Amino acid sequence: MDLLRSLPIGLYLEQPITWLHRLDPRIKAAWLMAFVLTPIAATPYWRLSLVGWLLALIVSTLLPLRVWRRQVGLAALFSLLLFLVTLVVPDGLTVSHQPRTPAEELWVTVPATAPPVSPSGDRPPVSLNLAQDYQYVLVQAGPIRVTRRSLNLGTRVGTLVFTLLVSTNLFLLTTAPEEITAGLESLLKPLGRWGVPVTEIVLTLTLSLRFIPLVLEEIQNLIRSVQTRAINWRKLGFRGTAQVGLTVAERLVDNLLVRATQIASAMQVRGFTSANRHRVNWHQFQVFWLDWLALAALILFVGARFWWGG
């Protein structure tokens, strides 16, 4: 079992280099925020279109199938489960709904010509069919009840979770941690005028991104150490299994704290005492024609959201 290969969540893929790798990290961050923010208060059709756009974007990058198959599959499965659960649970409306028309519908034939006026000057009343095709309950099969509101909520939750997970993972997959930190520092630099520690925040983000592989490595080593001991889980029972799990979790926390202490000591030995005093050029920005094209596409994308997305 190799978690670093089977579950590369949040890890940067160095090879192969796709066109998405060559984009400016600031533009990719803007696209990520567009995928995250545009579903807010949008129509279900726009949310479903975002899922299609993400899948088309993944296919256009020509990434290896082994890289995104499991991640997209897990995200799609989790989103589908959320959709199905939200679809059949009560929609939260406790009021009893009744049809707008009475049980006996009122039908009145409207003559082709105007009816004659009575001697008193009154015309007979004319009314139309009051029957409506609107149905609030779409499916009613025993305890399963699907309404328009539950269908809308299920579509919102499922598409939002899928968009959030897949877009974030694709951004981390095609953007190096140094590029992410440099792009965020460039975008957040105006906040430094109001005393916001932008450099410290970016440095903390860089260390956290670099710490993700260490966490996966420690989990992998602990799992392998448990497997080599050939523990008979059936004889241990629930209580013994819980004790082993707590012991492994405690060891994991201790190892991660040791790794964090080692990183802090290495930074102190190298004289790194303050982020403002030790400026590190993480990445050199170079804007090409592909970046301008992606920026123009982003403007059209946001415009389409406000024009067609409700």
Instruction: Evaluate whether 177 touches 206 at the Cβ level (below 8 Å).
Output: yes
Same domain for 88 and 6? yes
Instruction: Give percent of the chain with pLDDT exceeding 90.
Output: 3
Would you say how long the chain is, in residues? 310
* The pLDDT of residue 1: 47
Same domain for 243 and 146? no
Extended strands (E) in the chain: 137-141, 144-147
Same domain for 162 and 46? yes
pLDDT in tens, 117-155: 555 555 555 544 444 566 777 777 777 778 878 888 888
Same domain for 72 and 146? yes
Domain count, the chain: 2
- pLDDT bucket at 289, cuts 50 / 70 / 90: confident
For the record, the structure tokens of 214 come out as: 């260490």
**Nearest alpha carbon to residue 177 among 3, 1, 10:** 10
Q: Say if 267 falls within a structural domain.
A: yes
**Nearest alpha carbon to residue 33 among 196, 198, 167:** 167
* The pLDDT of residue 130: 44
Same domain for 169 and 65? yes
Q: Say if 75 falls within a structural domain.
A: yes
Q: What is the mean pLDDT of residues 168-172?
A: 86
pLDDT in tens, 263-278: 888 877 777 766 666 6
* The pLDDT of residue 6: 54
Instruction: Evaluate whether 18 touches 286 at the Cβ level (below 8 Å).
Output: no
* C-alpha span between 113 and 101 (Å, rounded): 28
- The model carries a pTM of 0.68
Instruction: Evaluate whether 263 touches 207 at the Cβ level (below 8 Å).
Output: yes
Same domain for 78 and 18? yes
For residue 147, give the H/E element and its range: strand 144-147
Same domain for 82 and 155? yes
CA 107 → CA 99, 104, 122, 127, distances in Å?
Answer: 17, 9, 21, 8
Same domain for 295 and 274? no
Instruction: Give percent of the chain with pLDDT exceeding 70.
Output: 78
* C-alpha span between 114 and 123 (Å, rounded): 9
Q: Which domain holds residue 156?
A: 1-93+135-176+285-310
For the record, the structure tokens of 187 come out as: 């975008």
Same domain for 267 and 204? yes
Same domain for 161 and 31? yes
Q: Say if 111 falls within a structural domain.
A: no
Q: Say if 265 falls within a structural domain.
A: yes
Residue with token string 């000591």: 265
Same domain for 144 and 26? yes
- pLDDT bucket at 26, cuts 50 / 70 / 90: confident
Q: Say if 21 falls within a structural domain.
A: yes
For the record, the structure tokens of 155 come out as: 């579509």
Q: Say if 104 falls within a structural domain.
A: no
pLDDT in tens, 215-249: 888 888 888 888 887 777 777 778 888 888 888 88
Query: In Å, how far from its chain's centre is CA 64?
Result: 22
Q: Is the peptide bond before 16 cis (omega within 30 degrees of 0)?
A: yes
**Nearest alpha carbon to residue 295 among 22, 17, 26:** 26
Task: Identify residue 274 by its one-letter amino acid code.
Answer: S
Q: Say if 207 falls within a structural domain.
A: yes
Q: Say if 114 falls within a structural domain.
A: no
Q: What is the DSSP letter of 126?
A: -
- pLDDT bucket at 99, cuts 50 / 70 / 90: low
* C-alpha span between 263 and 309 (Å, rounded): 47
Same domain for 162 and 223? no
For the record, the structure tokens of 153 come out as: 């909520």
* C-alpha span between 130 and 99 (Å, rounded): 11
Among 13-17, 19-23, 268-272, 278-282, which is the least confidently predicted range? 278-282
* C-alpha span between 80 and 126 (Å, rounded): 51
